[in-house]
Structure 1
Amino acid sequence: MWDIMLIFFIQIVFVPILTLRTVFMVKNQKERASFVGALEALVYIFGVSLVLSGEQSIGAMVAYSLGFGIGIYLGGIIENKLAIGYTAYNVNLQSKNEALIEKLRMEGYGVTLYAGEGRDSERYKLEILTKRSREPKLEVLIEEYEPKAFIISYEPRKFKGGFLVKAMKRRLNLKRQKKEKVTEV
């Protein structure tokens, strides 16, 4: 019985690690993916050796499968909490909502405004790039100022230049300067 419980818990640990490794690879974070991948392999080999050692019990196989399923669920929760990466939003508006645009910019979102021709009238599109961790706040702001907005979001794989990249570089330089001051002391 102890082996069956251990197999179950190993799977609950293994699959979220597998999820994170996959996310890091997709986000082009090779160093993190390599580290997590080595940990994943260690846990996997330990779990499989337990399943394959001794007698092949149905309980061990069921525990392995259930742990895998629960691990997928937990991996999704962990990935959502970490919110690694960025999301691009295209927000389509029926009117040029200056209050929304100003509020978004005051909150630190980079906003680009486009005017376009819709079927019945002129339309406006906001293009916004944000960290995934800031998505919920962005969505609340849009809903508050423009409840009828049509929103499309996607995860960009690469980007270069622009407002957000300049802000990220400034933050990175400030962190480096703080580290240098700490090491000087």
Structure 2
Amino acid sequence: MTSRTAVTVAAVSTVAGLLSGLAMYLGRSPEREQHVAGTEAWLPHVAVAVVLAVWLLIASRRSPLGLRVILAPLGRPIAARIAATFRARAVLRWPAVGFLVFVEAYLCWRIGVQVFAGLDPNFTANAWGGPSYAGAMLCHYLDGALLLLVCHTLLRWVTLPSIDRQHQHAQ
């Protein structure tokens, strides 16, 4: 049910992010940055968590995949829709599709960066959810998950349906 291309792009982007984050951590400054009160943004992230939970609950109930709908951006149906859009020469849709795929790959990279770069106290000092590693990671991953869902939804709107009947039921 997954697209090898989508899984590969996500994996390569995440690994590149992990390596970037490790480089950032290894090149960290010995000077400690002071935490500024009020930079935590916990209240907006409670709202993000609620929106994300409701979205996933609704999506999992509407999809035959159930909770596996979370993996939909890596699925063959969306990859088939992207390919159909490019095969149909829907030139006006190409920039939107390219941008959304780029944003999804960027988010995978950014999620990877957080793992090691977040170990630097300066990286999380004034981050949303900071100054702790756990809080900053929670907020960044909530943001990333919501942005991935938005990108995926927009991708479904701007791409053309696949002609392949095998994927019709999952779309």
Higher strand content, 1 or 2 = 1
Q: Mark the structure with the bigger radius of gyration.
A: 1
Higher relative contact order (CA 8 A, sep 6+): 2
Higher helix content, 1 or 2 = 2
TM over 0.5: no
Q: If the length of structure 2 is used for normalisation, what is the TM-score?
A: 0.28
